[in-house]
């Protein structure tokens, strides 16, 4: 495992774009945890910021990434994107974003993981919004998540990994 953590500034244009997306999509998303509108918007917004940070990082490395669906609104609560990114050999990548001070893990709800819904890789990003920075902590695999076993962190069972235990992101970047 690695302690290499990459830090990026969150640019104002991406904040605006992610807020606009959040407001358009919030009523089309599955309210998995029965949360109030404000909390749902917060989760969507920070998740989209995490995806945007990772996309911008890949572009800075001259990776050719198709992002045409990044801000696509999938109509209907059960109609969602299947993955956030893909590797050269079509393995799937999902971005998981932490944003609260007490968030020290990436968490994948069991309904997003089981029944052949698991992605091949999960990237962990933490947003420090007041400072307008984001940190890419690294990645893990679905196999590693299975080793941790699922646990209930208060919102139902989920697979998880500590941010500080994620593998060096450069190993995954080589596959993209």
* pLDDT value, residue 30: 55
Name which of 165, 166, 71, 88 is nearest 122 in CA terms: 166
Give the tens place of pLDDT for each residue, 115-126. Answer: 999 999 999 999
165's tokens? 């235990």
Give per-residue pLDDT as tens, 22-75: 998 887 655 455 568 888 899 999 999 999 999 999 999 999 887 777 877 655
Give the pair of three-digit tokens for residue 140.
């893990």
pLDDT of residue 163: 98
- Answer yes or no: is pLDDT of 103 > 50: yes
Report pTM.
0.91
- Give the model's pLDDT for residue 79: 42
For residue 1, pLDDT over 60 is answered with: no
DSSP run (H or E) holding 162: strand 157-162
Mean pLDDT of the chain, nearest integer: 89
In sequence order, which residues have a C-beta less than 8 Å from that of residue 141 and are 6 or more positions away? 120, 121, 122
153 pLDDT more than 70: yes
Give the pLDDT mean for 161-175.
Answer: 96
Domain extents in the chain: 6-173
Mean pLDDT over 17-25 rounds to 92
Query: Which whole number is the average pLDDT over 88-110?
Result: 95
């Amino acid at each position: 495992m690695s302690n290499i953590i990459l830090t990026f500034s969150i640019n104002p244009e991406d904040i605006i774009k992610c807020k606009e997306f959040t407001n358009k999509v919030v009523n089309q998303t599955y309210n998995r945890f029965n949360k109030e509108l404000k909390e749902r918007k917060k989760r969507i917004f920070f998740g989209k910021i995490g995806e945007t940070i990772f996309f911008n990082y890949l572009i800075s490395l001259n990776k050719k990434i198709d992002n045409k669906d990044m801000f696509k609104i999938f109509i209907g609560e059960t109609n969602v994107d299947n993955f956030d990114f893909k590797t050269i050999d079509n393995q799937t990548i999902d971005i998981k974003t932490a944003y609260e001070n007490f968030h020290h893990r990436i968490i994948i709800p069991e309904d997003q993981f089981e029944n052949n819904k698991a992605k091949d890789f999960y990237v962990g990003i933490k947003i420090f919004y007041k400072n307008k920075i984001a940190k890419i902590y690294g990645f893990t695999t679905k196999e590693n998540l299975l080793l941790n076993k699922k646990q209930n962190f208060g919102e139902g069972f989920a697979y998880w990994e500590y941010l500080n235990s994620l593998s060096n992101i450069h190993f995954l970047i080589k596959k993209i």
